[in-house]
Amino acid sequence: MDDRWADFATWLRPQVYEHVPAARVATVAAAFGLSPFETDLLLLCAAVELDTGAAELCGEARGSAGPSLPTFDLARAVLPAPHWSAIGAQGPLRHWELIEFGAGDTLAGRPLRISARILLHLLGVDQLEERLLPLLTVLRPDPAVPPPATARRLAACWAGTPDSLVQLRGAAEEETRAIVAAACAIVGVEGYALTAPPAPEFPAQRYTFARLWEREALLSGRVLLAPDGLVATGVADWQRGRPGAVLDVPAPSPDEQRTAWRSALVDSQLTDRLVSTFTLTPAMIRTVTEQAAATGEQVWQVCVVRNRPQLDGLAQRVPTAVTWDDLVLAPAQQRSLRAIARHVRQRSRVHHGWGFPGYGVSALFTGSSGTGKTMAAAVLANELGLDLYRIDLSGVVSRYVGETEKNLGRVFDAAETSGAVLLFDEADALFGRRGEVRDSHDRYANIEVSYLLQRMETYTGLAVLTSNLPDGMDEAFRRRLRFVVRFPFPDAALRAEIWRRAFPPGTPTTALDLDLLANLQVAGGGIRNIALGAAMLAAEAGESVGMRHLRDAALDESIKDERPIVAAEIRGWATENG
């Protein structure tokens, strides 16, 4: 070995420090736990990139005519306190990919190169590892939106335990991103969301990703948000996968929502309606207003449809093209339904603004089949400008303990930000009188009912239960509902009015006698079915709808319902003009 190498170790550090601050080298060495020899080996690899003289010396030592990369053999010869573990697979230089091996016949004779990410970091260029870029999305806070309280709590967690894995619970993905972005801005670090995680069936890729991300966390303190709401800032906790802290994300307050809507230049009158109907985070509000501006849609309509894909997989969306004029009910029921609409519209002002307790608007509609319960819910949804989703409770209830609550929870969680009217049909599948508890199954049923009513009470939209049995619910449960509307079987006068409205204006009719039609003891649903059936018969015959067609359709309907028709009910229906 040339005598010029005798004091190489003394020469090396000052040579590198002309380009790299000594403090930065010390920080990297401490972060990755490098021994003095491993640090010198890393600096040797850096030196050949920064100084042509060092590269030429390496070339001479290896018998090369020009500049060359160093080898482990060379490092052992010229650096103090060498040890083979420095290039072991579990050693920090290789584990964290601080250096890379080139091709060679022997391990010690293979050329060594410093990682581009590490070299640039030493030079003060903190760009993200390029292999991670396709998997990540940078999180940018909205400067126009004040950081939510949860963001400040998250930043405080990092300050207390810098090497920490935190679980954000109870927030949608969009909201979680906004929280982490705001927290990163508070503490002055970059945040990224993992948008394309390595597939579980490729464990090697997952291991490589975790190692590279941990290296980023050690180098720059960057924060990673995983799809499950885990926020990683360190190494050990990420490997264990157990959060050191769990933060529940509360729903944004009306004042926070109002501020966000107004910052988006939405007028105050519409803002009040939006706040009273939808529960959106500032990040969601920004997305809604941007979408409305880009598509020309109304902000209200964007809010209505934004959660449809989630709800469509859990419940049936019911058409709401009906109005108060289509609903034939006695004045008492009409009054109750209009009160429900009023409570939904004004709840934000009364409960949050004026301090009245409670918030959710829940109702029970009872009455036999066909008396207008579903139509009433559709009228309310139309009046409020919202979607109506019907959930068949007979399909939600599970015989497995806890599954019913999970099924219901998924529906409420998906609907929470959409303001949708939820119609829980066939509630008799779930309700029972608490006094009749005979075994554990009955007790579990009561737990399920209590859970449903609790979610209805806290749901930010309107939730409606329907029951065919007016006495099917325990009175203590009934008191927890804000409204109970009974849909009685329509009397003759109401039936005549339903018949009058059963035919669209374009339907050709001949000599229909509403008084005679009202003698038939059927509710509104049956009347509409009979009117449709008569229209089909008349169209098939090329005639106008007459009493004869209605008589035949009524007989068909009675067969379907297994309800014989008394002759007096349809006496006089088949006339010469019919």
108 vs 144, more confident: 108
What is the dihedral sign for C-alpha 18, 19, 25, 27? Answer: positive
Amino acid at the residue 52: T
Q: What residue has token string 């501020």?
A: 259
Distance CA 48, CA 57 (A): 9
DSSP code string of 365-427: EE-STTSSHHHHHHHHHHHHT--EEEEEHHHH--SSTTHHHHHHHHHHHHHTTTTPEEEEE-G
How far apart, in Å, are the Cα atoms of 412 and each of 6, 64, 428, 435? 75, 72, 20, 29
What confidence tens digit (pLDDT) does each residue in 202-238 have? 788 888 888 898 898 889 888 888 887 888 775 544 4
Closest CA to 426 of 465, 480, 455: 465
Per-residue pLDDT at 446: 66
Look over the chain and give the mean of its residue pLDDT values, rounded to a whole number. 84
**pLDDT value of residue 240:** 53
Rounded to whole angstroms, how far apart are CA atoms 228 and 342?
A: 39
The secondary structure element, H or E, covering residue 247 is strand 245-248
Interatomic CA distance for residues 282 and 172, integer angstroms: 12
Q: Which CATH number fits domain 324-486: 3.40.50.620, 3.40.190.100, 3.40.50.300, 3.40.50.720?
A: 3.40.50.300
Q: Is the pLDDT of residue 252 over 90?
A: no
Q: What percent of the chain has pLDDT over 70?
A: 90
The mean pLDDT of 77-84, rounded to a whole number, is 89
Strand order in the sheet with 462-467: 316-318, 388-392, 421-425, 462-467, 361-366, 483-486
Specify the higher pLDDT residue, 367 or 12: 367
The tokens describing 487, both together, are 């849909």
Between 308 and 535, residue with greater pLDDT = 535
Tokens, residue 575:
């006339």
What distance in Å separates the CA atoms of residue 495 and residue 530, rounded to the nearest whole number?
13
| Main-chain dihedrals φ then ψ at residue 245, nearest 5 degrees | -150, 150
Is residue 576 exposed (0-12), middle (13-18) or buried (19+ Cβ within 10 Å)? exposed
Task: Look up residue 264 and give its amino acid.
Answer: A
Q: CATH 3.40.50.300 occupies which residues in the chain?
A: 324-486
Give the span between the Cα atoms of 314 and 517, in whole angstroms.
40
| Residue 257 confidence (pLDDT) above 60 | yes
| CB 289 within 8 Å of CB 266 | yes
Highest mean pLDDT, choosing among 7-11, 177-181, 345-349, 400-404: 177-181
Q: Which residue has the tokens 């109005």?
A: 323
- pLDDT score of 38: 95
d(CA 349, CA 482): 17
The boundaries of every CATH 1.10.8.60 domain in the chain are 492-570
Q: Give pLDDT, residue 439.
A: 45
Q: Taking the CA of residue 75 as centre, how many other CA atoms within 13 Å lie in the half-sphere pointing to its CB?
A: 30
Which of 25-34, 189-198, 440-449 is the most confident on average? 25-34
3-state secondary structure of 533: helix
Question: How deeply is 136 buried, as exposed, middle or buried, from its count of CB atoms within 10 A (0-12, 13-18, 19+)?
Answer: buried
Q: Is the pLDDT of residue 437 over 50?
A: no
Q: Which CATH architecture has domain 492-570?
A: Orthogonal Bundle (1.10)
In the predicted model, what is the mean pLDDT of residues 535-560? 92
CB 238 within 8 A of CB 214: yes
Cβ atoms of residues 244 and 165 within 8 Å: yes
What predicted TM-score, i.e. pTM, was given to this entire model?
0.68
pLDDT reported for residue 576: 45
With cut-offs at 50, 70 and 90, classify the pLDDT of residue 33.
very high
**Pick from 124-133, 267-276, 315-324, 398-407: least confident:** 398-407
Q: Is the dihedral of CA 320, 322, 327, 333 positive or negative?
A: positive
Do residues 167 and 246 make contact, with C-beta atoms less than 8 angstroms apart?
yes
- Label residue 296 exposed, middle or buried (CB < 10 Å: 0-12, 13-18, 19+): exposed
Element containing residue 364 per DSSP (H, E): strand 361-366
Compute CA distances 185 → 143, 213, 386, whole Å: 10, 20, 37
Closest to 503 in 3D by CA, of 543, 554, 545 = 545
CA nearest 417: which of 533, 306, 282? 306
Nearest Cα to 54, choosing from 43, 63, 372? Answer: 43
CA distance 537 to 129: 73
Say if residue 559's pLDDT is above 50: yes
